[in-house]
């Protein structure tokens, strides 16, 4: 059996590629140096006894201490992807496409010869119609999808037997020949073009030595084009489609429009691509899936410039930024409607902000499993939940319709954007100089648009919880028509326990009861508890016991012209005493907030920003302490 570099072989079901043919020091005879598809299958990486015989193309990515991706293009970082084997190994017998097709789909076995199906000791299932089905399948009638993965298929261009493929597979629309022994694109193209109705082609796991390219010195053959194919998957090839194995420069898809001119979807995952050149791809292409490659920013996929691609899938690609040049990014990414960046290394909100700037039409986004959501904190350092991260993400992208497959409702967008606006306001309130405020606004590009939509919120001081005056760094009080005017801060008091919540004035009493119960670690507020709103109105504490001397004005004689200083002092001290007693006998009026759907704002004065709510225990002689058990 003749061997050549790049040849694909199979040994006991394990696929490999020949990388070296020749002698090995200290070992007699000729040897084959092979790289296994399973990088853990071998014994070395092409170097034996400190002598390098060949290099492997598989490059396992590494992350250093600064979370930077390290690649060694063209040289495997796995210690065991290769082996030296004798040529006389019991290699798995290769099959032709027709041989594999007949073996799997066109078995000549008589269904009547099959062992009977026993349901129980005395019952046997009767097979009806299986013989007709077997005859129909043997003729490959009605078969539209053919899956022949791991069948050791080795296609020979020019084999006379290939003429029969078109007749047998006339109705086949989907073909999967993954993980076989193809080593050149010309072999795949010759097989695919013989299927007249082929629309989907999968050639994953075939280490094609020439990728999708055409030799620069050879004339292009139109017979090798696949004009009917709309869906192509060429994943796990570990080679650039420009034909150069292990190159570190940009991958070229320039020839793709010639090979598959009507392509709509390209799947090229786990090929170790670092960059795709800014060259034209088929204008019919709508979906591009490049997951599992080594891209670090979205603009590394330069072929998107000028294309009609709407869906971009980049899962598990070590991506952590959008661009290095904003003008380039706008040219490359402006047409994207759907983006999937799950499982990358995104750790900054600047990525989401840059999406809004470079993808003005983005409608669908998936961002799960990124470190951005692992340790979210507010401007005050408060730990935020993943739900907060969800709201902050969609609030930054005004055109978004779905996030992580969840449809964004109008109510969700309203809540998210008002929450985000308040978070920006809180961060601005912590600044101490104009430059710091400019920096905050630069980090939140939607600040101006949100203020125009909802009104500029109040800046709250974290130390006093009161609005800053116009003299406080020239920040004015909120306009009555702004969002801030619709918020109120409630200070709850239960005995010695105090806590505060800032809520919309439309918040119902039911919702306030739930907030109080949650703060006190109750499942719900006990029935004997009452919410009492403290008002500014003063009422007499005990009207029946009010001293008689304060029931009306004191006696005054207009004709008295006494100027005795002692008498005046005695009269003034008496008035002060009476006023002090009156003050002691007055108290703030309390209004009970009975459970219901009435908003808290209806109990407050117009423009009132703060109020005190006392949680009273009714019908109990002693204070009921909240339970801290869940």
Q: What is the mean pLDDT of residues 212-217?
A: 41
pLDDT at 225 over 60: yes
Q: Are 316 and 340 in contact (CB under 8 A)?
A: no
At residue 549, the pLDDT reads 45
Q: In the chain, what are the domains? A: 7-85 (2.30.30.190), 375-462 (no CATH), 482-539+586-623 (3.10.20.90)
CA angle 460, 466, 471 (to 5 degrees): 80
Which of 182, 186, 192, 193 minimizes the C-alpha distance to 157? 186
End-to-end CA distance of the chain: 75
- Dihedrals phi, psi of 567, to nearest 5 degrees: -65, -40
CA angle 240, 245, 246 (to 5 degrees): 90
Rounded to the nearest integer, the mean pLDDT of the chain is 79
Annotate 75-107 with b (16+ C-beta within 10 A) or e (fewer). Answer: ebbbebbbbbbeeeeeeeebbbbbbbbbeebee
Query: If residue 82 lies in a helix (H) or strand (E), which one and from where to where?
Result: strand 82-85
The C-alpha atoms of residue 331 and residue 302 are separated, in whole angstroms, by: 9
The C-alpha atoms of residue 226 and residue 232 are separated, in whole angstroms, by: 10
For the record, the structure tokens of 182 come out as 């193809």
The 10s digit of each residue's pLDDT in 465-509 is 444 443 444 444 555 656 767 788 999 998 888 889 898 888 888
Question: Which residue did the predictor score with more confidence, 623 or 229?
Answer: 229
3-class DSSP assignment, residue 163? helix
- List, in order, residues 6 or more apart from 557 with CB less than 8 Å away: none
Burial zone of 248 (CB within 10 Å; 0-12 exposed, 13-18 middle, 19+ buried):
middle
From residue 4, give the alpha-carbon distance in Å to each of 27, 32, 34. 21, 10, 11
Q: Are 181 and 16 in contact (CB under 8 A)?
A: no
pLDDT at 358 over 90: yes
At residue 249, the pLDDT reads 58
At residue 535, the pLDDT reads 82
For the record, the structure tokens of 14 come out as 């394990």
At residue 577, the pLDDT reads 59
Tell me the Ramachandran region of residue 619: left when phi exceeds 0, alpha when psi lies from -120 to 50, beta otherwise: left
The 10s digit of each residue's pLDDT in 361-386 is 999 999 999 999 888 888 888 888 88
Which of 468, 431, 425 minimizes the C-alpha distance to 447? 425
At residue 57, the pLDDT reads 73
For the record, the structure tokens of 526 come out as 């006990």
The 10s digit of each residue's pLDDT in 268-289 is 999 888 899 888 888 999 999 9
- CA torsion angle for 499, 505, 509, 514 (degrees, to 10)? -40
Q: What percent of the chain has pLDDT over 90?
A: 37
pLDDT at 420 over 70: yes
The 10s digit of each residue's pLDDT in 83-103 is 999 999 999 999 999 999 988
The 10s digit of each residue's pLDDT in 287-323 is 999 999 999 999 999 999 889 999 999 999 999 999 8
- Dihedrals phi, psi of 372, to nearest 5 degrees: -55, -35
For the record, the structure tokens of 36 come out as 């296994």
Give the pLDDT band (50/70/90) at residue 77: low
Give the pairing of strands 402-403 and 586-592: unpaired
pTM score, two decimals? 0.68
């Amino acid at each position: 059996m003749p061997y050549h570099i790049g040849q694909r072989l199979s040994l006991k079901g394990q696929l490999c590629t020949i990388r070296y043919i020749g002698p090995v020091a200290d070992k007699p005879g000729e040897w084959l140096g092979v790289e296994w598809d399973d990088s853990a299958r071998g014994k070395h990486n092409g170097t034996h006894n400190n002598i390098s015989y060949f290099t492997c193309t598989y490059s396992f990515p590494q992350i250093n201490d600064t979370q930077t991706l390290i690649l060694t293009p063209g040289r495997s970082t796995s210690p065991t992807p290769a082996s030296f084997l004798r040529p006389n190994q019991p290699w798995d017998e290769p099959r032709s496409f027709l041989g594999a097709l007949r073996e799997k789909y066109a078995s000549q076995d008589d269904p009547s010869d099959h062992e009977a199906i026993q349901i129980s000791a005395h019952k046997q299932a009767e097979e009806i119609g299986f013989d007709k089905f077997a005859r129909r399948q043997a003729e490959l009638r009605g078969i539209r999808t053919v899956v022949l993965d791991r069948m050791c298929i080795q296609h020979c261009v020019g084999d006379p037997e290939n003429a029969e493929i078109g007749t047998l597979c006339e109705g086949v629309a989907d073909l999967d020949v993954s993980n076989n022994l193809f080593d050149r694109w010309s072999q795949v193209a010759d097989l695919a073009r013989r299927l007249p109705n082929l629309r989907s082609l999968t050639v994953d796991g075939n280490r094609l030595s020439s990728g999708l390219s055409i030799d620069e010195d050879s004339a292009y053959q139109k017979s090798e084009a696949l004009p009917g194919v709309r869906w192509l998957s060429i994943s796990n090839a570990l080679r650039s489609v420009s034909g150069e194995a292990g190159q570190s420069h940009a991958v070229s898809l320039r020839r793709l429009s010639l090979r598959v001119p009507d392509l709509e979807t390209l799947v090229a995952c786990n090929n170790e691509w670092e960059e795709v050149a800014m060259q034209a791809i088929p204008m019919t292409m709508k979906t591009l899936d490049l997951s599992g490659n080594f891209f670090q920013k979205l603009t590394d996929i330069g072929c998107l410039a000028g294309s009609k691609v709407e869906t971009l899938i980049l899962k598990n690609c070590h991506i952590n930024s959008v661009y290095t040049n904003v003008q380039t990014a706008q040219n490359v990414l402006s047409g994207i409607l759907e983006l999937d960046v799950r499982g990358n290394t995104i750790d900054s909100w600047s990525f989401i902000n840059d999406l809004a700037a470079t993808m003005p039409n983005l409608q669908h986004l998936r961002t799960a499993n990124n470190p951005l959501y692992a340790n979210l904190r507010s401007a005050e350092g408060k730990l935020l939940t993943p739900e907060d991260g969800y709201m902050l993400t969609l609030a930054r992208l005004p055109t978004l319709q779905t996030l992580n497959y969840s449809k964004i409702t109008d109510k969700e967008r309203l809540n998210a954007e008002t929450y985000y606006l308040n978070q920006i306001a809180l961060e601005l309130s912590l600044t101490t100089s104009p430059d710091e405020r400019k920096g905050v606004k630069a980090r939140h590009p939607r600040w101006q648009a949100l203020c125009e939509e909802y009104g500029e919120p109040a800046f709250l001081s974290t130390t006093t919880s009161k609005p800053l005056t116009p003299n406080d760094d020239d920040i004015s009080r909120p306009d009555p028509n702004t969002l801030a005017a619709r918020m109120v801060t409630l200070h709850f008091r239960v005995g010695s326990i105090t806590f505060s919540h800032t809520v919309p004035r439309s918040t119902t009493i039911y919702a306030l009861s739930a907030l109080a119960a949650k703060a006190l670690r109750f499942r719900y507020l006990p029935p004997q508890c009452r919410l009492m709103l403290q008002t500014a109105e003063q009422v007499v504490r005990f009207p029946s016991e009010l001293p008689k001397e304060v029931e009306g004005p004191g006696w005054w004689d207009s004709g008295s012209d006494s100027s005795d200083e002692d008498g005046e002092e005695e009269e003034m001290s008496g008035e002060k005493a009476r006023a002090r007693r009156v003050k002691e006998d007055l108290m703030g009026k309390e209004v009970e907030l009975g459970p219901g759907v009435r908003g808290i704002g209806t109990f407050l004065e117009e423009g009132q920003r703060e109020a005190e709510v006392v949680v009273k225990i009714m019908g109990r002689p002693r204070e009921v302490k909240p339970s801290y058990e869940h």
